[in-house]
Amino acid sequence: MNIQPVLLWSDVCIWLLVLAGIGAGWWSRRQPPLAAAWKRVGQSRPGMAAATILLAFVLVGLLDSLHYREQLPGKAGEKASYSVEVLSALDRLLLPLRTRVEKTYSEPLATRAYAKEMMEVRQADGSLRTMRDYPRLKFGGATLGADEARVDADIAGRAIRAVLLAAVVWLGLCLVVVRRLACADGVPLKQAWQALWCGETAFAWNAVLIAFGALMLVAALLLGLATEYHVFGTDKVGQDVLYQVLKSIRTALVIGLVTTLVTLPLAVFLGIIAGYFRGWIDDLIQYIYTTLNSIPGVLLIAAAVLMMQVVIDTHPQWFATAAERADLRLLALCFILGLTSWTGLARLLRGEALKLRELEYIQAAQAFGVSDLRIISRHLLPNLMHIVIIALVMDFSGLVLAEAVLSYVGIGVDPSMISFGTMINNARMELGREPVVWWSLVAAFAFMFVLVLAANLLADAVRDAFDPRMA
């Protein structure tokens, strides 16, 4: 299939962050203090289990950041034209979930719709009778045909096969890891197996394997059941809820990660120079972040988002597709969140810089005529990196939750963009109908809970490893 690659601004930010992470990892290996700290992170079982889960979320987000437009059918010799719908590699993998759209709501793993409709049912004598009943879903349990009584047995069979497949793959991966550990340490396989599960390895392989096994189990169950059923049900327009929560992961990662591109330079630069130079520079920077802190954050974000929306609405010629329009609003939200959340880290770095500048080695460097820029880059910044890393990792979960709250009140991402916040916002009306539609809210909450919990556990491990007071 001929496609036209599409590069959104948020895609550029995400892949730049990936490259920056790879570069930071390579640089950290060459810095003994940072390498030792990351080694302590690798020894943390909760931290490594959380990192494994986060890696799965990141992979989903990266797949959803490879965008393209499909070529429309046309006559030979004509110039190629492309669809206005922007898809991603994740959309391609989830094509059955994206295209199997029902008429309206349906419960998880259901074969019939959630609301009754007037239907014509053929009687035994061949006559048609009009009655009110739950209509059969078009795709949910379609292979069962009219034999809906087998639905429980079919679900159980698919689940058992998925669990067995996940167990076989997981055991194979365990054997590969054990074999590598045995070869590296020069010990028998049995001894390496015992050392792995007793937590006697330098890296927390047991936590990684347990977390990976749990991920494989969930993924196998979803894959085994989603090919035939709507695992998390469908929404008002009949779209699969599992597809929606998987698409929401990228939005959460963009909010949590891209915002650091704004937060990090402002906080590090202004915080360090305020503490190092003091005087009128310190007073000016304090005045700036004190003024920002005095403005209610929600009001500032709402005003900025609404102004950006006016700009977007008055310049429709800037956007070739609706995805580009929604992407600009997403990036605008990231910048606004970054501009309102850098003050805490800047204040913390200022206090540490004030303390470090009075130490003997800083004063000695000043006495020998070393430039201020060199002192900041060679002495202050390396000794403040642990604070920067801890703050950024711990702020990630707060930013993810902030998007959900902002979208809930209507000032978050574009309504056409799928996110946890828009799903929760749409669930407000669903919870007020009778019967209650609960599965959209539960699915969004469950995935967001796992993402935020994993981020918090990793943040705790990073804090314990990088904070000198915890050593």
Please determine, for residue 471, whether its predicted confidence score (pLDDT) is greater than 60: no
The answer to whether residue 287 sits within a structural domain is: yes
Q: Looking at the domain assignment, is residue 36 inside a domain?
A: yes
Q: Print the SS3 string covering 329-396.
A: HHHHHHHHHHHHHCHHHHHHHHHHHHHHCCCHHHHHHHHCCCCHHHHHHHHHHHHHHHHHHHHHHHHH
Which pLDDT value is given to residue 369?
A: 84
pLDDT in tens, 275-334: 888 888 889 988 888 888 888 777 788 888 888 878 887 877 777 777 888 888 888 888
For range 216-231, the mean pLDDT:
91
| Residue 439 C-beta-side C-alpha neighbours within 13 Å | 21
Beta partners for 3? 70
> Most confidently modeled of 86-90, 123-127, 331-335?
86-90
* pLDDT at residue 428 in the model: 77
Give the bridge partners for 232, in sequence order.
Answer: none
Distance, CA of 213 to CA of 215 (rounded, Å): 5
250 and 200 both lie in a single domain: no
- In this structure, the answer to whether residues 169 and 24 fall within a common structural domain is no
Task: Say yes or no: 383 and 312 in one domain.
Answer: yes
- Could you report the per-residue pLDDT of 139-160, keeping only the tens digit for each? 888 888 777 788 889 899 999 9
Q: Are residues 439 and 360 in the same domain?
A: yes
Give the Cα separation of 13 and 325 in Å (integer): 16
| Distance of alpha carbon 207 from alpha carbon 211, whole angstroms | 6
For residues 347 and 431, membership in a common domain is answered with yes
For residue 446, the domain's CATH number is 1.10.3720.10
For residue range 164-182, list pLDDT tens digits in order. 999 999 999 999 999 998 8
Per-residue pLDDT band for 420 (boundaries 50, 70, 90) equals confident
73: in domain = no
Q: Last residue of some domain: 173, 200, 226?
A: 226
Q: What is the mean pLDDT of residues 359-369?
A: 84
Give the count of domains, the chain.
2
Say how far residue 93 (Cα) sits from the centre of its chain. 18
Flag whether 4 is in a domain.
Answer: no
pLDDT on residue 408: 74
- Looking at the fold, whether 45 and 177 belong to one and the same domain comes out as no
Contacting residues for 5 by C-beta, under 8 A, at least 6 apart: 67, 68
| Cα–Cα distance list, 194 to 43, 127, 160, 178 (Å) | 17, 71, 29, 9
Same domain, 330 and 245: yes
In a domain, 275, yes or no: yes
Domain of residue 154 covers 149-226
Last residue of a domain, one of 200, 226, 252: 226
Contact present, 241 and 233 (Cβ < 8 Å): yes
> Does pLDDT of 216 surpass 90?
yes
259-277 and 322-341 helices, crossing angle to 10°: 20
Q: Which of 175, 197, 226 is the last residue of a domain?
A: 226
Hunting for tokens 């497949």 — which residue is that? 165
Do 247 and 201 belong together in one domain?
A: no
- Same domain? For 359 and 425 the reply is yes
| Unique residue bearing structure tokens 């796992």 | 450
Per-residue confidence at 126, pLDDT binned at 50, 70, 90? low
Alpha-helix residue ranges (DSSP H) falling in 186-278:
189-197, 205-226, 241-253, 259-277
pLDDT of residue 199: 82
Residue 91, domain member (yes or no): no
pLDDT at residue 210 in the model: 93
Same-domain pairing of 248 and 219: no
Strand order, beta sheet including 67-71: 3-6, 67-71, 82-88
Question: How far apart are the C-alpha atoms of 31 and 38, rounded to whole Å?
Answer: 11
Name the average pLDDT for the chain.
85
**DSSP label of 258:** I
Classify residue 160: in a domain, yes or no: yes
**Roughly what angle, to the nearest 10 degrees, separates helices 151-185 and 189-197?**
110
Q: Residue 132 above 70 pLDDT?
A: yes
Same domain, yes or no: 25 and 169: no
- 402 in the same domain as 304: yes
**CB within 8 A of 41, min separation 6: which ones?**
47, 48, 461, 462, 465
pTM for this model (two decimals): 0.87
Does residue 438 or residue 409 have the better pLDDT? Answer: 438
Residue 381 falls inside a structural domain: yes
pLDDT at 470 (0 to 100): 56
Write down the pLDDT at residue 77.
Answer: 67
Look at residue 130 and tell me whether its pLDDT is greater than 90: no
Nearest to 338 by CA among 389, 300, 306: 300
